[in-house]
Amino acid sequence: MLRNLFLCLPGPAFVAVLGHNGQGKTTLFRVLTGQLPYQGSIQLAGQELRTLRRPASSGHLGYLPQRGAIDFSITVRELVLMGRYRHHSMLSAYAPDDYARADAALVAVGAPHLAARDFTQLSGGEQQLVWLAQLSLHDAALYLLDEPTQQLDVYYRRRVFDLIHGWVQREGKTVLCSTHDIDSLTETTGFLFNLAEDTPTLRPISAASVREARAVLEAAPRPPA
């Protein structure tokens, strides 16, 4: 359970959500996506979250869960294309422009070579890149990314953080990104929000604040309240 969180995000912004294992990062995202109840108030663009119907699929936010899984065969290109679903009625077919956007999204994550592959046969890291490409087509104002660089090698980790920063700086998105990858954060701008602190507070990212966050995370987690 998460208690006594106060957080006001002026968008656009990048926020790295930190914390020990089991400290509530995924829980926070599940609350923000309407999957878990909450007490108090959470407002998205001025609207109380509990009054929004299916915030993740209605365009208010885009969500990358920690483990996205599918159990049917589909090509990577088709799966990325599904990120355009909000722009279509049930019966309208995808247009050439949708395919062009899907291809561009794959290029942006560094995975155009995967376009024709069966998604279910990709490695975990490759699948992660594909989910990010799909998410980039959701065109939401707020993105919640649950450990987007887990399973990625050093090159793709850097690439994904650069991609996320492009969403913030060029497209004006706000991104909450849970991560244990604190070494990658020193090269980014934005805020840290560390659930391992007694009173989690938004702190601008700097070499010093990342060092302090590391020290908190290297200490044993506090027992649950």
CA distances, 160 to each of 74, 96, 116, 168, 175 (Å): 23, 26, 21, 13, 13
If the CB atoms of residues 96 and 223 are measured against ligand ATP, the closer one turns out to be: 223
Instruction: Name the one range near ligand ATP by CB under 6 A: 24-32, 87-95, 98-106, 160-168.
Output: 24-32
148 in contact with ligand ATP (CB under 6 A): no
**CA 174 remoteness from chain centre:** 10
37 in contact with ligand ATP (CB under 6 A): no
Distant-in-sequence, close-in-space partners of 169: CB < 8 Å, separation ≥ 6: 12
Instruction: Say how many residues make up the chain.
Output: 225
Segments of 14-89 assigned E as strands: 14-18, 43-44, 47-48, 61-64
If the CB atoms of residues 114 and 132 are measured against ligand ATP, the closer one turns out to be: 132
Instruction: Name the one range near ligand ATP by CB under 6 A: 8-16, 25-33, 86-94, 137-145.
Output: 25-33
Nearest CA to 115 out of 71, 82, 80 is that of 80
In this chain, which of 18, 24, 61, 167 binds ligand ATP, going by CB under 6 A?
24
150 in contact with ligand ATP (CB under 6 A): no
Q: Would you give the DSSP letter of residue 222? A: P
If the CB atoms of residues 19 and 83 are measured against ligand ATP, the closer one turns out to be: 19
Element (H, E) at 167: helix 154-169
Q: How far is the CB of 111 from ligand ATP (least distance, A)?
A: 24
26 in contact with ligand ATP (CB under 6 A): yes
Other beta carbons less than 10 A from residue 103's beta carbon: 16
Q: Which two tokens stand for residue 113?
A: 């070579």
Q: Based on DSSP, count helices (H) and strands (E) in the chain, helices before strands.
A: 6, 8
Element (H, E) at 100: helix 96-108
The Cα–Cα gap between 83 and 101 comes to 10
If the CB atoms of residues 110 and 125 are measured against ligand ATP, the closer one turns out to be: 125
In this chain, which of 15, 18, 23, 133 binds ligand ATP, going by CB under 6 A?
23
Contacts with ligand ATP by CB under 6 A: the residue count is 8
If the CB atoms of residues 22 and 124 are measured against ligand ATP, the closer one turns out to be: 22
Q: How far is the CB of 223 from ligand ATP (least distance, A)?
A: 11
27 in contact with ligand ATP (CB under 6 A): yes
Which residues would be at the binding site for ligand ATP (CB under 6 A)?
19, 21-27
